[in-house]
Structure 1
Amino acid sequence: MPAPLELRLAIRLSDTPDGPHHDFSLVASEGVLADGSTVPDPQAALAAVLRYGEGIFFPKPGPPRICTQQYGGPQRAVITGTFGGRQVHTELSLTDGCEIARWRALAPLLGGTAT
C-alpha cells in the first residue's frame, strides 16, 4: 500500500470505563515520522498502521463476521485524526475475538499495551 500523504492520529486508551486514560499521538508526513509523535515506539506504531492500511480504520462492508465469543477485558481505545486525508474516528475494545484481533494488530499504536 502506498504511504499516506499525511497521518495524524490521537489515541486515548482507558483501562477501565471510569478509570484514568492515557493519551498518545502518531504523526507522519509522506509515510515518514514527523514531530509530535508520543507513542512509546513511534516506528513500530507507524509500521503497524502502514501494514494494515486504511482497512483497519475504514472496514469495507461485507458479509457478517463470525467472531469468537470471548472477553478480553474492559480496556477501550478511541482513535481520531486523519489518515491519508480521511477523517478517522474508530473505537477498539476487547469484547470478542474480532475486536481482540484488531487490538493486537494495532498494539504499537496503543502504546504496546496489547496482550
Structure 2
Amino acid sequence: MRDLELTIRVTEDPDSPEYEFRLIVRDGRPADGCTVPDPAAALSAMERFGEDIFFPKPGPPKLCTQQYGGPQVAVVTGSINGRPVSVTFRRTDGCEISRWRAMAPLFGGTTGSRGEI
C-alpha cells in the first residue's frame, strides 16, 4: 500500500463511546498524523490481506458459521491509493469475525478489537 488515508471509527457496543483512529501512509510508510496505536502492525495487516478485504469481489455464496462474536462495529472511510473506501466491519457471523480478526490492528486495541469471542 503506497498511499492511504483512513479514518477508523470503532464502537464496542451501541451504548459506548466511539473511538476514532487515523492511519496515514505515504510512499508505503506510516506518516505524521497517524493515531492508530501501532501503525506498523495496521499497515502490515493491510499488506497481508490486500485491498480485497475493503473491496470484495462478487463470487459464489459463502457458508459462514452462525456464531455471534459481539456488538463491536468498525467503520473505515478514506482512500487507498486514490480509491475511495467506505466499509463496515462487524462480528455478526463466522465470516465477519474472520474479517475482523484479520484487520484487528487497524481497530486500535479497543476492547474486542483483537477478535476474541
TM-score normalised by the shorter chain: which range applies?
Answer: over 0.9
- 1:9 paired with 2:2, answer no
List alignment gaps of at least 5 residues for structure 2: none
Q: Give 1:31 shift.
A: 1.0
Number of residue pairs aligned between Structure 1 and Structure 2: 112
C-alpha distance in structure 2 between counterparts of 1:64 and 1:81, whole Å: 28
Distance across 2 between alignment mates of 1:52 and 1:83: 13
1:17 to partner: Cα distance: 1.7
For residue 66 of structure 2, the aligned residue among 65, 69, 73 is 69
- Superimposed CA distance per residue, residues 51-97 of structure 1 (whole angstroms, 9 cap, x where no aligned partner): 11110100110001110000001110000000111000000000000
Gaps of 5+ in 1: none
- The Cα offsets for residues 7-50 of structure 1, whole Å up to 9 and x where unpaired, read as 10000000112321100010001211111110111100011111
Residue 29 (structure 2) pairs with residue 22 (structure 1): no
- 4+ aligned runs moved over 2 Å, structure 1: none
Counterpart CA distance in 1 for 2:50 and 2:34 is 18
Q: In the alignment, is residue 78 of structure 1 matched against residue 79 of structure 2?
A: no
Q: Structure 1 length as normaliser, TM-score?
A: 0.93
Name the structure 2 match of 1:103: 100
CA distance in 2, matches of 1:84, 1:61: 21
- 2:45 corresponds in structure 1 to 48
- Whether 1:31 aligns to 2:32 is no
SS in 1 for 2:42: helix
Measure, in 2, the Cα distance between the counterparts of 1:85 and 1:40: 24
Query: Which residue identity lines up with residue 105 of structure 1 in the other structure?
Result: A
